Amino acid sequence: MTNRLFRRVRTAEEDLMGGFSGSLPELGEARRRVRLDLLREHLSAGVEALRARHEEGASGEEFVRVYAAFMRDFLGELWVLADGDAPAEGYDIQPVVLMALGGFGRGELHPSSDIDIMITYEGQMGPHVQMMAQELLYTLWDLGLQVGHSCRSLTDCLAIARTDFPSRTSMLAASWIAGDRALFRTFRRTLRDNLYRKDFAEFLATTLAERDQRYRKHGGSPYLGEPNVKESAGGLRDLHTAMWLASTKFGTRTRARGQGAHHAAGAPGHRRGAGVSLAGPQRAPLPRGPQERCALPLSPG
């Protein structure tokens, strides 16, 4: 990750403070506006460049991967900005890490999807962690981004992973964005040693029950006329289910390590279908109209 955006923001803030004659609260508000304007400009330019890339022929699969990488760098820079403010506020620094969860953690993000992140810390939440979480989340909300977020201690992470299936599967795909790398390694080791290696049979039963419930709602046949490419039988969620089980049983954590199975399942075609219109909302049910356009990239010749 580069810190080019960080340097632009800091330079603009220093220029503002050099000639500012208002009160301290007014200066704080002015700094906030300057920061948000630059962040909004950077975000808009990045999204437009990615959209142009898609219109020039980049696949839906490539788009969601590049967009995920862009947002990962963007969040990393926001974290560096917030972390740089902490000493000036007089906070005692506490080990804390920002990580991506779920599809974002796997390196896949559609522009209309929530940005799923988790802030994790050791021990009790102190003022430093509170400041980091508030600064990051308020900035993302001010920029109009949809964020799925949580702020948990290591103990909380383990407890919720034991009792909540969606939280467990999203944390299976967790990846580091910024902050304390040693704490992230401790997070992974804690869940692996205390949970993933101990209850595979129970996790398998829960996963299959979730799959059966999903089939009843979205369709259990791979021959549906207008399938839900994410939730129906043979869709993306089935691929994710296989990856969750492989990760738990064999330690195959990432898509990169399971690349052969991923392509054998035809996942790039599914993602192409789910991302037909990257300029608008993501569409999981695939209507008949665009089906032919989605099928063309998968044609053998």
**What residues does each domain of the chain span?**
4-196, 200-298
Find the angle CA(234)-CA(240)-CA(245) to the nearest 5 degrees: 115
* CA gap 46, 276 in Å, rounded: 20
Average pLDDT over residues 82-103: 85
Residue 255 has pLDDT above 80, yes or no: no
Residue 93 has pLDDT above 90, yes or no: no
Average pLDDT over residues 199-205: 82
Average pLDDT over residues 32-61: 86
Name, in order, each residue with C-beta under 8 angstroms of 283's C-beta and a sequence gap of 6 or more.
274, 276, 277
Predicted pLDDT of residue 92:
81
Predicted pLDDT of residue 55:
78
Token readout for 59 is 């696949």
pLDDT per position as a tens digit, 150-171 = 999 999 999 999 999 889 989 9
* CA gap 134, 116 in Å, rounded: 16
The dotted CATH code for 4-196 is 3.30.460.10
Percent of the chain scoring above 70 in pLDDT: 81
Average pLDDT over residues 117-140: 94
Predicted pLDDT of residue 95:
94
Average pLDDT over residues 258-284: 45
Angle between helices 236-250 and 165-172 (to 10 degrees): 70
Residue 174 has pLDDT above 50, yes or no: yes
Residue 275 has pLDDT above 70, yes or no: no
286-293: long-range contacts at Cβ-Cβ below 8 A with a sequence spacing of 24 or more?
Answer: 286/226, 286/227, 286/228, 286/229, 287/226, 288/225, 288/226
Residue with more model confidence, 6 or 149: 149
pLDDT band at 147 (very low <50, low <70, confident <90, very high): very high
Token readout for 20 is 């500012």
Mean pLDDT score of the chain: 81
Single out the residue of 125, 124, 102, 99 nearest to residue 113, CA to CA.
102
pTM to 2 decimal places: 0.79
Token readout for 40 is 């909004």
Per mean pLDDT, which range of 34-48, 70-84, 132-146, 257-271 is the poorest? Answer: 257-271
Residue 23 has pLDDT above 60, yes or no: yes
Per mean pLDDT, which range of 92-106, 139-153, 194-208, 241-255 is the poorest? Answer: 241-255
Find the angle CA(261)-CA(262)-CA(264) to the nearest 5 degrees: 60
pLDDT band at 185 (very low <50, low <70, confident <90, very high): very high
**Burial track 243-263 (b if 16+ CB lie within 10 A, e otherwise):** bbbebbeeebbebeebeeebe
Per mean pLDDT, which range of 40-44, 90-94, 125-129 is the poorest? Answer: 90-94
Residue 92 DSSP label: P
Residue 294 has pLDDT above 90, yes or no: no
- Please tell me which of 20-29, 98-107, 189-198, 234-243 the model is most confident about, judged by mean pLDDT: 98-107
* CA gap 69, 49 in Å, rounded: 13
Predicted pLDDT of residue 138:
94
Find the angle CA(83)-CA(116)-CA(47) to the nearest 5 degrees: 85
- Please tell me which of 65-69, 222-226, 283-287 the model is most confident about, judged by mean pLDDT: 65-69
Residue with tokens 């950077």: 42
Average pLDDT over residues 254-262: 48
Residue 189 has pLDDT above 90, yes or no: yes
